Chain A
Amino acid sequence: MLHIVNKSPLERSALDSCLAAAQPGAAVLLIEDGVYAATRGHAGEGKLRAASAHLQIYVLAPDLEARGMAQSLADGVKPIDYAGFVELVAQHRNCQSWL
């Protein structure tokens, strides 16, 4: 299944909640303010790296670029565009948005 997170990990616990529930093999897509989680050097970086061992982590590149963070993309996170977003939704059986 696909999990979508759109909140900054430093302001909200949405990503933590998502990672606690997500089952191995699931996909996590970071969009909007959620993209900050996919960058290098922030306090929660280690958590995402650990999660990427059993989850596929994606980030919506246009949201990353808009925030001037395109150069700070963390390892193990796959950037995708809007077409990739649509594809990801279509590939998965269901989807949970961690608002």
Chain B
Amino acid sequence: MAIVVDGKTYETDEEGYLVNLAEWNEDIAKLIAGEEKIDMTPNHWEVVNFLREYYNEFQIAPAVRVLTKSIGKKLGPEKGNSQYLYELFPYGPAKQACKIAGLPKPTGCI
């Protein structure tokens, strides 16, 4: 599979995850978000950017429990809870936000 942004083609896997995370940019993120029926707000970007930073540092997409805890540590308890994250990403913060962030599916996520 592939997605096309500005006439350029980017390879994705059969579930729509970007194959080469180095190719990621905000336009790709917006396109994937659109397919996921998500309207990107600053709060969405905050989580997506957090995920990309986490991946850069640890080379993994965190499990949702770890994501929640780490976001809480960095952005405060009002954001570090699953209700907040599920409101932003109704089909699963780890799964949807990772896809938008151009990361692989979190390890252990089915």
**A/B touching: CB–CB < 8 A:** no
A-to-B contact residues, CB < 8 Å: none
